[in-house]
Structure formats: structure tokens, C-alpha cells
Amino acid sequence: MAQTRAQARTQARDADGDGGNPRGLHFLTELANTVHEDPDAGAADLQALLDRHGGPPFRLTDTDARELREATAHVIAVLSTDDPDLAAEAINDLLDRHPARPRLVRLPGRPWSLHTRAPADAGLAHWLLSTAALALGLWLSERGGCAWGRCAAPGCERFFVDTGRRTPQRYCTPRCATRVRVAAHRAQRA
Ligand SMILES: [Zn+2]
């Protein structure tokens, strides 16, 4: 899992938790959904997920995959709470155990922004949880609450990041929202 400087930059970019484009948070919710839906998600599935999100190009072994799944349980615990005090406590605990060592980084063509800087040999759990703690902590502090949730559509329990500014988001995707609306409309007509 040795990292080059370019890989470290990729990693820093993925930790980005800025409000307009909470890219790191979308990675975290997709990881949480993958592991929640398939508690035995293998190295190939998790590798594909990391690659899709421009994560560090680790070549995951089966042991890495297990470490990543176990670490993801801590992310799921935070995403499962809608109480900001409890979420803050859980995130602070992660920050204590997996210090994010934040640095301001200036990526090409972008303004200065805050990123985690995990040591190259820290291991996957540390990489994930330091990244998650910083991204979730910044998001919670910026939004003043748990701007994430779980889909309210029947049969769907997917986590989502609530990027809306007005009404709280209830569904993971427009698809689930439409499904619920159509079902309610049919029930009304029946
Ligand atoms: Zn859904």
C-alpha cells in the first residue's frame, strides 16, 4: 500500500468535505450502503467503489477488504444517528483515535482547502476513519446538524447526504421519492 505523492493528492481530494460538493461524503454513504447491503462485500466490489470515487489506488487484498468493512461500521454508526450531540460525540471519538492531521492543500485550479494527511503506512482503517471523521465533522459543523439520513421509502434503507438547503431530504434518490409518490397516488385513486 505504498503511496506516491500523486496518490496522496488523490486521497486528499477525496477527503474533501466542502459544502458545495461534498464528494468525500458521497463516497462514505456509498461505502456504508455497500457494506450494509452486503456485509461480506469482497475486495473486488470495494476496490471498484474506491476507484469510482478517485480514492487512493490501493490494491485491496481480502484482509484489506475485511479491515475496510470493519472500519465502515463506525461510519455507519455516525450516519445512523440524527442527534447532533450523539453524532458529534462519535465523530470526536474518531478524531481522537484516528487523528486527521488536517493540512491546507492547494490542488491545481482550485482554492486552498482543508484535507486529511494520513501517513502512507497507516493502514486502511486509519485512512478511512481519519478521512471520514474530518469530512463528517466539517459537514456537521457547517450545516449545524446531521445533514444526512436514511431513505424513508418502504424497502429502502440506503444512507444519503442531505445537500438540500430548504426542506430536509427524506429519500435516497429522486427515484425513491417518485416511487413513493406514485404509490400514494395509486392508493388515493383506489
Ligand atoms: Zn431509497
Average pLDDT over all residues of the chain: 85
pLDDT tens by residue, 6-28: 444 444 333 333 334 456 899 99
Domains of the chain with bracketed CATH = 5-148 (1.10.3300.10)
| Whether 60 contacts 47, CB under 8 Å | yes
- In the reported structure, the alpha carbon of residue 105 is separated from the centroid of ligand 1 by a whole-number distance in angstroms of 35
- In the reported structure, the alpha carbon of residue 115 is separated from the centroid of ligand 1 by a whole-number distance in angstroms of 30
Residue 74 gets the label, from left (phi > 0), alpha (psi -120 to 50) or beta, of alpha
Q: What is the predicted pLDDT for the residue at 166?
A: 82
- In the reported structure, the alpha carbon of residue 10 is separated from the centroid of ligand 1 by a whole-number distance in angstroms of 29
> How confident is the model over 116-124, as a mean pLDDT?
73
| Whether 107 contacts 54, CB under 8 Å | no
Backbone angles phi, psi at 155, to 5 degrees: 80, 0
Q: What is 48-81 written as a DSSP string?
A: HHHHHTT-------HHHHHHHHHHHHHHHHHHT-
pTM for this model (two decimals): 0.81
Give the separation between CA 149 and CA 169, rounded to whole angstroms: 8
- For 33, the enclosing helix (H) or strand (E) is helix 23-37
**pLDDT score of 49 more than 80:** yes
- In the reported structure, the alpha carbon of residue 81 is separated from the centroid of ligand 1 by a whole-number distance in angstroms of 17
> How confident is the model over 135-163, as a mean pLDDT?
94
Name which residue leads in pLDDT, 149 or 190.
Answer: 149
